[in-house]
Amino acid sequence: MERTYLALIHKDPGSSFGVTFPDFPGCTSGGDTFEEAREMAREALALCLEGMAADGVHIPPPCPPDAALASEDADYAIALIVVEALPERTEEEAQAELEAFLASDEYREIYGDPLTEDELNDLPYYEDSFESEAVKAGIALRPVAGADADHIYAALVRQDAAGEFSVGFPDLPGCVAYGNTLEQTCKAARPALARHLANLATNGASIPNPSSASDVLAHPDAADTVALIVVEALTEREASLDSREYREVYGEPVSTV
């Protein structure tokens, strides 16, 4: 897979440096200095390429310099540079990233403190004979407060040899989300679940009742998972903000994180 592309550097008076990629609309980065912007662009390009590969999206070959300079963004650019994506992570690096996330403040803000060994042993669905890494990870096993139980499903997070994450729902075959990091994958699971349930409803298909955590952990896919998470589907309002129609009219929703 080609990992070197042309990028445009932008700089308005009194602002930081911005970076855009003519080949990848929506892939942007930036930095306070030219060098920082260039380094951040390598990371942004790597995430873009890996995300497209994980989703099975066609990755275009790099455009020639004259095509890049003819793009609309070039009218406001101060430089055209060559960006080589960061190298793909090894399995060891991906595992280290996972462990660092589980110990991070970001993890606790989203999921609370990881379950202790005593808490895991006290879970009603924990079985001594079932040594599951999903149980040991203890991610989001606590109930989601104030949520609609019919829109909450347990899901299994997996990680492939290349370090990429995916999350699937045993109750809902075909409902899958992907991400480059565990956090990104967990966040992607919510809109994926909402879209899947909406499609089932639109097509008049039966929507299964959520299985218990113990049933999900007994599923064949649980054998090689890295985490069990509890996912609440996006609300109707959140789903409308996540829709393609919204983005076409208004662009990306403003993050509240």
Residue 172 and residue 205: Cα distance in Å, rounded? 12
Burial tier of 195 (Cβ tally within 10 Å: 0-12, 13-18, 19+): middle
Q: Which helix (DSSP H) or strand (DSSP E) does residue 106 occupy?
A: helix 105-111
For residue 225, give both structure tokens: 């998972």
Q: Which helix (DSSP H) or strand (DSSP E) does residue 83 occupy?
A: strand 77-84
0.85 surpassed by pTM: no
Regions of the chain short of the pLDDT cut 70 = 1, 89, 91, 94-95, 98, 102, 107, 110-150, 213-214, 235-257
Q: Residues near 235 by Cβ (< 8 Å), separated by ≥ 6?
A: none
Residue 48, phi then psi, degrees to nearest 5: -65, -50
For residue 7, give both structure tokens: 């990028």
pLDDT score, position 154: 83
- DSSP state letter for 22: T
